[in-house]
Amino acid sequence: MNSFMLDDRKMLVTALAALLMVACSSAPRDPEAIGQLRRDLTELQSDPQLASKAPVAIADAEKAVVAAEKPQDDAEQEAQLIYIADRKVKIAHAQAEARKLEDQRTALGKERETARLDSRTEEADTAHQLARDLQQEIDDLNAKPTDRGLVVTLGDVLFDNASSTLKPGAQDKLSKLSAFLLKHQDRSIVIEGHTDSVGTENYNAALSQRRADSVASYLTGQGLTHERLTSSGKGEGFPVVGNETAAGRQQNRRVEVIIVGAMTRAQ
């Protein structure tokens, strides 16, 4: 009985051992896959931009890789540990990457805010600069703001006595005006000729009209379109000062250019 039991036992043990061998048979390890895992993890751990971003996930991955590196008797278990470790390394990598990107956002936000501010500042600067430029041009023209618009008064330096032909030097005086008008195409002008009270009223009216026309034709010669220009002779009816003195009469002999138009900001 006893010997039978022993034989039976031996047989059973052998059978069981065989069963276990089949169920959990050992296969050659996969050193390549394990080596690759370790390399991937080391790469992540030594990346200065990522290593500190996901400490928990990286520690988790490290644990999984260490487990996969331990020799296993069971091939399936070994494959499983490699599989899990591979995903954990990838999870750690993705988490670190996400965290890095989130951290960069602060800097990106600042950058965008700076750009927005710069853009606004520049916009304001541009507007100010335009206003300054316009004011400078108006100042250069010696134009005075009035109810009718900007008035440029050209003294009697443009014409010889009783003449409506522009003097050679007159063109210098008018060139600034024509440059301004060519630049600001949205503006039109009214040219008014005025005389002193010397001579008949009709003569003065005609002379002032001819002088206004002379200025107008000079300006059209510079490229201004006729539609923008209106010229009229006001004669002696609109003196700026009394005609009693020579100095007063000189002031009254003049051509006034009234600039009207859309751009009123600098007025």
Partner 1 sequence: MKTILSHSSITQMPSGLRPVSLLLLLSLTGLAACSSPPPDQELQAAELSITNAEKARVADYASPELGEARNKLAAAKAAVNEGDMDDAKRLAEQARVNADLATAKAAAAKAAVVNTEMQDSTETLKTEMDRNQGGTL
Footprint of partner 1 on this chain (CB under 8 A)?
5, 8-9, 12-13, 15-16, 19-20, 23-24, 57, 76, 80, 83-84, 87-88, 90-91, 94-95, 97-98, 101-102, 104-105, 108-109, 111-112, 115-116, 118-119, 122-123, 126, 129-130
Q: Which of 107/247 has CB closer to partner 1?
A: 107
**Tokens 């091939």 belong to residue:** 75
What phi and psi, each to the nearest 5 degrees, are found at residue 172?
-60, -40
What are the beta bridge partners of residue 113?
none
Cα distance between residue 160 and residue 168, in whole Å: 10
The minimum distance between CB 228 and partner 1, in angstroms, equals 23
In 3D space, the residue among 253, 204, 213 whose CA is nearest the CA of residue 231 turns out to be: 213
| Minimum CB distance to partner 1 smaller for 83 or for 238 | 83
Nearer to partner 1, 29 or 99 (CB): 99
Listed residue (124, 156, 110, 145) closest to 255, CA to CA:
156
- Write down the least CB distance from residue 66 to partner 1, Å: 16
User: Is residue 44 packed enough to be buried (19+ CB in 10 Å), middle (13-18) or exposed (0-12)?
Assistant: buried
CB of 79 to partner 1, least distance (A): 9
Could you tell me the smallest distance in angstroms from the CB atom of residue 126 to partner 1? 5
Q: Which is nearer to partner 1, 80 or 197 (CB)?
A: 80
Q: Which amino acid is residue 247, in one-letter code?
A: A
Smallest distance, partner 1 to C-beta of residue 69, A: 17
What is the Cα–Cα distance from 58 to 222, expressed in whole angstroms?
A: 78
Report the residue number, 2 or 161, with the smaller CB distance to partner 1: 2
**In the chain, alpha helices (H):** 2-23, 31-45, 55-69, 75-141, 170-183, 201-221, 246-252
